[in-house]
Amino acid sequence: MGVGLESEGIRPSVRFVRRSIHSHITGLGLDAHGRARRVGGGLVGQEEAREAAGVIVQLIKEGKLGGRGILIVGPPGTGKTAIAIAIARELGEDTPFVALDGSEIAGSPRKTEVLLQALRRAMGVKVREERAVIEGVVTDIKYVKRQSPFHPYPVIGGARISLETKDDSASYTVGPEIAEQLLALNVRKGDVIVIDVETGAVRKLGKAKGRGERRYDIEVEKEIEIPGGQVKKRKEFVRILSLHDIDMSVAARRVAFSGLLALLETEREIGDEDRRHSNEIVKKMLDEGRAELVPGVMFIDDAHMLDLECYSFLTRAMESDFAPIIVMATNRGITKIRGTDIESPHGMPRDLLDRLLVITTRPYTAEEIREIIRIRADEEDVPLSDEALEALTKIGLERSLRYSVQLLEPARVIASRRGSPKVEEVDVSEAARLFADLKKSIETIERYKELMIY
């Protein structure tokens, strides 16, 4: 099949996952007919907006959203970001999702480069590779040590390893590079491993069920089934790369071949030629049937912060063959386009607005706010009494939902200091006293405006 991706130096980006304010969202919460359930997928209310987003998902899956984007419009704290994330979840767990804020783009001296890199990160390529591998359960492993004139202690000179599957068994002598990987991974009898014949890369998959050393009540390694077939075989691997991953690989090879002068550059960046080369690689893999495109979602919050240059760039980007789904959100009505005196809906040029499908959100009701707070409390492991939940609901209705949700963790800390396992109304009141919302902050500034520095 030619040179593999790992030997090409192309590796997928590492994604770090943490619990965020939208970590509970699993989808749009629609039924089989595309109707929104009152509570579903971690979302509450906004039925019309969610149903519209469901239509968008269907269009994306059918490949009929080319040249258009989505704009989500609504007051602050009405779930615009949540709906964008839910769209990505509906498209599948492998769908790339890249979130930007309009302010970080507007504040960059290289705005279009920031946008271009984000667009490329949000465009996935599902690559299928058939590799020659050795796979099986380790039945025996012995390391060969040898003396080195450059080291006072014996070093690993190789290893002899025996593997077996449900249908086959074989033994192999491997060199020091592979032996060092086996040692670093602490490979023992009963482990299921895969060795890439072409690159020598070793992966430890887990423990074979019913094999190996003594099992413990608590184990880090998972148990997996014993592989079938031959020990040495060709196996298909599927991975998701972004276009930016491939761009970085191409740029790194260019620098490696250009020598010392390139390494002395003050800043190395991906050039247009690198991206053209990446596109050629991807198109070749698509033509050969070894890859397929996975359009991701690029979400730009506070999109009204962008200027005409950015809007013009996005308008062109929507028509590209390698363009992700562009979702923007704003809470602005009629306002000036940034950097101009031109007033326009949402602060965007009308020619761009003509290319967008607009989804609107509305303020939440008291019942919806109560349900959202309950969901967030469960997600953040904050036990609430009924009285505390009602107090937070009232705060969310009178002040803002975001402020109410932000009080959950401070209220939990205050409750724990009292020795209470559950957050009570008194803890919510104390958290609200200690931490001001936007309205209270403005009132404080007005009260002490003569003392404030301007």
The answer to whether the beta carbons of residues 140 and 162 sit under 8 Å apart is yes
- Report the CATH number at residue 226: 2.40.50.360
The answer to whether the beta carbons of residues 347 and 337 sit under 8 Å apart is yes
Query: Domain end: 335, 360, 385, which one?
Result: 360
Q: In terms of domains, do 345 and 403 share one?
A: no
Coil/strand/helix, residue 261: helix
- Report the CATH number at residue 399: 1.10.8.60
Q: Mapped to the 3 state alphabet, what secondary structure does 272-305 carry?
A: HHHHHHHHHHHHHHHHCCCEEEEECEEEEECHHH
Residues 47-66 as b/e (b if ≥16 CB within 10 A, e otherwise) read bebbbbbbebbebbeeeebe
Domain that holds residue 165: 129-238
Q: What is the pLDDT of residues 53-103, one digit of tens each?
A: 999 888 888 877 666 789 999 988 888 888 888 888 888 777 788 888 888
Report pLDDT for 414.
94
Give every residue of the chain whose pLDDT is below 50, as ranges: 1-8, 13-18, 260-267
Q: What is the length of the chain?
A: 454
Is position 267 within any domain?
no
Report pLDDT for 14.
41
Is position 280 within any domain?
no
Q: In terms of domains, do 88 and 151 share one?
A: no
Q: In terms of domains, do 354 and 432 share one?
A: no
- The structural domain count of the chain equals 3
Query: Domain end: 360, 382, 399, which one?
Result: 360
79 Cβ contact list (under 8 Å, min separation 6): 43, 45, 46, 49, 361, 364
Rg over alpha carbons for the chain, rounded to the nearest Å, is: 28
Coil/strand/helix, residue 431: helix
Q: How far apart are CA 361 and CA 48, in angstroms?
A: 8
Q: Look at the alpha carbons of 15, 16, 18, 21 in this order and tell me if their dihedral is positive or negative.
A: negative
DSSP letters spanning 43-97: EES-HHHHHHHHHHHHHHHTT--TT-EEEEE-STTSSHHHHHHHHHHHH-TTS-E
Q: How far apart are CA 301 and CA 91, in angstroms?
A: 20
Q: In terms of domains, do 44 and 140 share one?
A: no
- Report the CATH number at residue 18: 3.40.50.300
Is position 349 within any domain?
yes
Burial class (CB in 10 A: 0-12, 13-18, 19+), 441: exposed
Q: In terms of domains, do 39 and 114 share one?
A: yes
The DSSP letter of residue 141 is: E
Q: In terms of domains, do 157 and 63 share one?
A: no
User: 396, 400, 401, 428: which is closest to 412 by C-alpha?
Assistant: 428
Q: How far apart are CA 416 and CA 400, in angstroms?
A: 25
Is position 311 within any domain?
yes
**How far, in Å, are 9, 105, 121, 297, 337 from residue 269 at the CA level?**
17, 17, 15, 24, 30
| pTM: predicted TM-score of the whole model, two decimal places | 0.69
Report pLDDT for 270.
76
Is position 47 within any domain?
yes
Report pLDDT for 268.
52
Q: Pseudo-torsion of CA 43, 48, 52, 55, nearest 10°? A: 80
Q: In terms of domains, do 308 and 380 share one?
A: no
Looking up tokens 């002068």 gives 261
Q: What is the pLDDT of residues 208-223, one digit of tens each?
A: 887 655 555 555 667 8
Q: In terms of domains, do 408 and 373 share one?
A: yes
Query: Domain end: 315, 344, 360, which one?
Result: 360
